[in-house]
Amino acid sequence: MSYRDIITIEPDKRGGKPCIRRMRITVYDVLGWLASGMSITEIIEDFPELTETDIRACLEFVADGDHRLVASVSVA
């Protein structure tokens, strides 16, 4: 699965930062937790709505310098 299927950007959510599956958890939140020394298992224990695939998608997103995502806009 590509990170493009997991990472979403909505202008009105978290200031337009890339989020995971339209949740309010950003790619940068996950990267911060990893950088602070949390393991993938610890992150998932603290945030059970996340999966290992979600976390790997965050890493893939950052590794792809182009970030070619199309903004997803919700219509209410």
DSSP string across 1-53 = --GGGTEE--TTSGGG--EETTSS-BHHHHHHHHHTT--HHHHHHH-TT--HH
More confident of the two residues 44 and 74: 44
At 68 the pLDDT is 59
Class of domain 3-63: mainly alpha
Residue 59: exposure state from Cβ atoms within 10 A (0-12, 13-18, ≥19): middle
Domain positions in the chain: 3-63
Residue 72 has pLDDT above 80, yes or no: no
Q: pLDDT tens-digit profile of 19-39?
A: 999 999 999 999 999 999 999
- Residue 2: the pLDDT is 85
Global pTM reads 0.80
Instruction: Report the pLDDT value the prediction gives residue 4, as an integer from 0 to 100.
Output: 87
Choose the weakest-confidence range: 33-37, 49-53, 60-64, 69-73.
Answer: 69-73
